[in-house]
């Protein structure tokens, strides 16, 4: 199992943008010192009250230069918002700066807001995503290549530099909708999953469809599934169950509102059942629906038990922990939670 920290470079109420960068880099330094496996970077646009992480590749390069052991990944680079050759160049460059410690996590985003800001139709996001990924792989694997697609055309280009890792950094794709899981299983890509919009058992069924497609396609090895999940580890049970409640519930309710609002937006796929998921998130209860189901919270022993259950249900190979989901947990409490996670939770899985 690999363990990482999911980072949004959150912006606290009343703080400056500089404060957000300072706090995030302090967290990364602590993660490096505590021996965490990886940090994973979100991509957020046009949301000044919440996040300053609009350029994950620039941040990944900075982290790679500041650290020796941490792997650094994107979770995720929203591919359709950029240019595939530019993205391929930047990712390969980060791979060299980190000397092979880079993981390329990609997706198309489940919400249309960023697309509207970039003036790209969200209805094209799925087709753009797969075309974009195909171009990146050709650019990394072939010395020179040409390509003609619906959105991008290139003639006899040579990407420089090629990646440090051979043939390229590990690619992991975010999967949320049920029809995506068998597609990615057939293609043989590792995946990110989450349990915010669906129950743990429902996501387990999606993972099984991914496994079936993986096996049918005769891909080598076993499936590779990483879970993004809110985590809070406390010294006592009372502390661990009360400190994160307001913050974590804020995130779930905010996502519920976003999904419900986006259901009628241009380009949203009605098959993704956004309104239904949004309504479910709006009615979550902390003890009944969240603890051990959508978040891992408690003493180190409790968190180990909860993560073991999630690992068994979802066939997990990795945990990407959100230590400040909802952005309301103090910096000192996050640091202590990370310390307990690294020192007392992770060893149980190694």
Last residue of a domain, one of 256, 275, 292: 292
Range of the domain at 117: 2-240+293-349
Task: Work out the pLDDT band at 297, boundaries 50, 70, 90.
Answer: very high
Residues 208 and 284 in one domain: no
Compute the C-alpha angle 327/292/349, nearest 5°. Answer: 95
Q: Are strands 102-107 and 171-174 parallel, antiparallel or unpaired?
A: parallel
| Res. 268: pLDDT tops 60 | no
* CATH code of the domain containing 185: 3.20.20.30
Q: Are residues 276 and 145 in the same domain?
A: no
Tell me what percent of the residues of the chain surpass a pLDDT of 70.
Answer: 95
Are 184 and 286 found together in one domain? no
Q: What is the mean predicted confidence (pLDDT) over 109-125?
A: 92
Beta strands in 166-239 (DSSP E): 171-174, 191-194, 225-233
Question: Is residue 56 domain-shared with residue 68, that is, in the same domain?
Answer: yes
pLDDT in tens, 119-178: 999 999 999 999 999 999 999 999 999 999 999 999 999 999 999 999 999 999 999 999
**Backbone phi, then psi, for 237, in 5-degree steps?**
-60, -45
* Same domain assignment for residues 194 and 285: no
Same domain for 316 and 184: yes
Partners of residue 3 on adjacent β-strands: 319
Residues 58, 179 within the same domain: yes
- The model's pTM is 0.94
What does the mean pLDDT of the chain come to? 94
Q: What are the tokens at 271?
A: 């098959």
215-228 average pLDDT score: 97
pLDDT at 283: 81
Q: Cα 58 from chain centroid?
A: 17
Buried b (16+ CB within 10 A) or exposed e, 250-284: ebbbebbebbbbbbeeeebeeebbbbebbebbeeb
Distance CA 110, CA 107 (A): 9
């Amino acid at each position: 199992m690999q363990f990482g920290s999911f980072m949004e470079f959150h912006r606290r109420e009343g703080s400056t943008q500089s404060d957000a960068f300072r706090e995030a880099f302090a967290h990364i330094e602590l993660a490096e010192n505590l021996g965490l496996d990886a940090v994973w970077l979100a991509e957020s646009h046009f949301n000044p009250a919440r996040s300053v992480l609009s350029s994950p590749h620039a941040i990944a390069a900075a982290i790679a230069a500041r650290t020796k052991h941490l792997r650094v990944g994107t979770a995720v680079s929203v591919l359709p918002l950029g240019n595939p050759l530019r993205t391929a160049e930047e990712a390969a460059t980060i791979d060299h700066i980190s000397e092979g410690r880079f993981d390329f996590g990609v997706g198309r985003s489940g919400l249309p807001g960023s697309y509207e800001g970039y003036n790209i139709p969200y209805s094209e996001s799925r087709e753009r995503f797969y075309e974009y990924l195909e171009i990146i792989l050709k650019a990394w694997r072939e010395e020179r290549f040409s390509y003609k697609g619906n959105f991008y055309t290139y003639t006899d280009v040579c990407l420089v530099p090629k990646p440090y890792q051979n043939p390229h950094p590990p690619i992991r794709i975010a999967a949320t909708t049920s029809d995506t899981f068998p597609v990615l299983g057939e293609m043989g890509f590792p995946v990110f999953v989450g349990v915010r919009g669906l129950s743990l058992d429902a996501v387990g069924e999606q993972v099984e469809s991914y496994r079936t497609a993986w096996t049918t396609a005769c891909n080598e090895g076993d499936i590779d599934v990483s879970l993004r999940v809110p985590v809070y580890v406390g010294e006592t049970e009372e502390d661990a169950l009360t400190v994160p409640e307001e913050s974590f519930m804020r995130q779930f309710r905010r996502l519920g509102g976003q999904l419900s609002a986006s259901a009628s937006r241009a380009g949203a796929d009605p098959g993704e059942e956004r309104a239904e998921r949004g309504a479910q998130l709006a009615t979550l209860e902390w003890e009944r629906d969240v603890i051990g189901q959508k978040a891992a919270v408690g003493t180190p022993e409790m968190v180990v038990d909860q993560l073991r259950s999630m690992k068994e249900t979802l066939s997990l190979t990795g945990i990407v922990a959100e230590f400040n989901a909802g952005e309301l947990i103090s910096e000192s409490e996050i640091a202590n939670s990370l310390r307990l996670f690294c020192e007392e939770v992770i060893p149980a899985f190694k």
